[in-house]
A and B are shown apart, each in its own frame.
Chain A
Amino acid sequence: MSDREQLRQEIDQHLEAGRWNRAQAGLERLWAEHAGPALAGYAAAACERLRGPLRFHPLRVAVLRSFTVEPVLPLLRATAAVHRLDLTVKAGEFNAYAQELLDPQSWLYAWAPDAVILAAETQSLAPALWEGCGGASEIRSTVDRVLQEYCEWLRVFRSRSHAYVLLHTLEQPAQPARGILDCQAPGGQAEAIREINAGLCRLAAESAGVHIVDYDGLAANCGRARWRDEQRWATVKLPLRPEGMLALAAEWVRYLCPIAGRSAKVLAVDLDGTLWGGVAGEDGPDGIRADREYPGIAWWNVQRALLDVKGRGILLAVCSKNNREDAAAVFRGHPEMPVRLEDFAAERINWADKPSNLREIAAELNVGIESIAFLDDNPAERERVRRELPEVTVIDLPDDPMGFAPALRACPELERLAVLEEDAGRSRYYAEQRQRAAALSGAASVEDYYRSLRQQVEIAPVTPATLARAAQLTQKTNQFNVTTRRYSEQALAAMAETPGWDVYTVRVKDRFGDNGLVGVMITRPWPGGADAEAGGCEIDTFLLSCRVISRTVESAMLAFLVEECRARGLAKLSGWFLPTAKNAPAADIYRKHGFEIAGTSGAGTHWTLDLARAAVACPEWIELSVVPRAGHGAPLRATPPPPEFIAERANAQ
């Protein structure tokens, strides 16, 4: 029996016995080794059984297209399942993307996707340009027309939907009509397509929730000769070969993972054989390899990739079986290595087993175990972590170390749709956090500690500059989060522009440094609706990053809300606590501040505060400042918001 058949039988047995994590691990291996159209159906059927018990992240994806995309979809679902995404995918009609975007009655808006992929190809958008007919002025007008069309499609789409949009760049023809003349003078085919692509990138940069998929770059990576199949295009309008289809499915998943919130926050890295070649304890600082020559270049590349990942705001941690002094000696002895010991936010260099160390790293950095990704050259260690900590993202590495860095860079759980100021400085916050911990252990009382921090809390209405960070906080904050409602930038902008709704951001500084933007509050009229009883304010969202919890910042935030409601002459402030597996740290907030239970539902508890009798004060050790609103309803984005999120939220309760 072939290896593939054996793996299938094992997966089937695990599925039969309800050993979901083992089945998932088997599926990951099967797909890594045999991904393709022949296995896609089997993988999709397995995914169907795993998505419930393993709680895959659900995501609805609409694919608007100019070609036969259907054979790509089973590959997409299987690739997504390997990364624990439960995709519901719907493809638009062949070549109907423009009508589907422009027509308010189209299925697209009724279906309400989370993400829309606009997979239009050059030959459909600009047939003359693809074929290379026409002179310079015709080419010029084609470039302008295509960009204007995209601009209009996006404008119309955004007026009706908050969904993420993924725009494909336009593909270059492998053989320009004018041959080598094409790039000798202005007005060539390649130049025109590059101009359109640059215009699309500008358009995406200016629009919230719009991202570019470099379809042309993907074709180039794959090799244009292996990418297209002109015969299949002519017969069934399928332009891609299976290799290209697989590459496209994998590329889409790199975007869909962060969109669905499947993101690692910490990358835990082994040392010997992974960060450098050789064994620190045996080869010593002089014997290990991580330099620009072969074979050290393999590990040099791993280290550079690690720094790139760190630059996206992902924390690095060491998880290595070593004597700490041996490991430290390697870092000391190789000052030219890209990665320094200081680049790691946490380290476990000891002889304990790796699952225990990973649990400790997660606890120390205050993240869930599912937020950890693990990089180790030893297949046995990877297998053990997979077995004992199935939630951890284990990055598979090939036998050849030259393949390590490319495997690391291909991991979709390490992708980010945007990098914010807070992300880039994240490692520094953790260093400051260690100083705070030292201050706490040295303080006589917890109040003394609060006083010694000299905290400054600034509450401000959300602005275009803070919108992305506010959305990121709603998507990533699990612990101190009363309702755990996830919002996109687009949705937050629409809320902030709706009369009666307010979106506030909270910035916290103290004597150890600036924690940055770490809190979000969203309030709306209560109970809502035009004919509702007047006089209440409902807290839709109240969250604080784990960076600043247990420092009474939430009391300052509630004190602000109470003052704000009183100034508006309101009688009640209310809010739901919706328990999750992780938000116990926020469970007591309403009771502690004098709220009373107003009702309960299967989802949680509704708390209310009588503002006439409330006594919520800002703690004396916090200096609170409030940035006044610039004027309500000032647009955050150029496009007007639709009101449907209010209905969505009401239903969600």
Chain B
Amino acid sequence: MNSPHLDGVRRIFADVFQLPLEQIAPHSSPETIPAWDSLQHLNLVLALEEEYHVQFTPEEIERMLSVELAAEMLNGKCVASKVA
């Protein structure tokens, strides 16, 4: 499934990890991004929440372990994306 938020989410991941956008794939996960530790995970959550005006529950945060998953969760939470 291709989430409408995928590109925006990839950009946020790239900014948080300070990596080039090309290095962020839909299946990127803590296994493929070495900098993805628990603190960066928190930074990711905060950045996504700010960008999309949503709040994740602790359970969702625990499950958000790939770019794709994050984009899908956003799909369920917001209809319209802020980023054009």
Interface residues of A (CB under 8 A from B): 1-2, 5, 36-42, 44-45, 68, 70-71, 74, 231, 235-236, 238, 242
Contact = CB atoms under 8 A, between A and B. Distances in A.
A40 B84 CA distance: 20
A74 B15 CA distance: 11
Given A38-B51, A231-B58, A71 B15 contact: no
A74 B12 CA distance: 14
B50 interface: yes
Contacts of B39: 68, 70-71
Nearest to A74: B43
B15 A235 contact: no
A2 to B, nearest CB: 5
A242 B46 contact: yes
A107 to B, nearest CB: 18
Contact of B46 (A37, A42, A231): A37
B83 A2 contact: yes
Nearest to A2: B84
A74 B47 CA distance: 11
B12 to A, nearest CB: 6
Contacts of A42: 15
Contacts of B58: 231, 235
19 contacts: A5-B84, A36-B47, A36-B50, A38-B12, A38-B15, A38-B47, A41-B43, A42-B15, A44-B18, A45-B18, A68-B39, A68-B42, A71-B42, A74-B43, A235-B61, A236-B42, A238-B42, A242-B46, A242-B50
Give the 10 A-B CB pairs with smallest separation, nearest first. A41-B15, A37-B46, A38-B47, A38-B51, A37-B47, A36-B50, A42-B15, A235-B58, A70-B39, A41-B16
Contacts of A68: 39, 42
Interface residues of B, number: 18
B62 to A, nearest CB: 9
Most B CB within 10 A of own CB, among A41, A45, A70, A236: A41
B42 A38 contact: no
B36 interface: no
A411 B61 CA distance: 37
A41 B84 CA distance: 20
A41 B42 contact: no
A71 B43 contact: yes
Nearest to A43: B15
Interface string B37-61: 0010011001111110000001001
Contacts of B42: 68, 70-71, 236, 238
Contacts of A39: 15
A37 B84 contact: no
A70 B39 CA distance: 7
Contact of B84 (A1, A231, A238, A242): A1
A1 B83 CA distance: 8
B50 A70 contact: no
A4 B46 CA distance: 19
A553 to B, nearest CB: 52
B2 to A, nearest CB: 21
Contacts of A71: 39, 42-43, 46
A44 B47 CA distance: 14
A5 B15 CA distance: 13
B49 A41 contact: no
Nearest to B44: A37
B60 to A, nearest CB: 11
Contact of A41 (B17, B48, B50, B83): B17
Interface string B1-37: 0000000000010011110000000000000000000
Contacts of B17: 41
B46 A41 contact: no
A38 B44 CA distance: 8
A268 to B, nearest CB: 36
Contacts of A44: 18
A70 B42 CA distance: 9
Contacts of A231: 58
A271 B50 CA distance: 39
A37 B50 CA distance: 7
Contacts of A235: 58, 61
A71 B49 CA distance: 13
A127 to B, nearest CB: 23
A68 B41 CA distance: 13
A41 B51 contact: no
Contacts of A74: 43
A68 B45 CA distance: 14
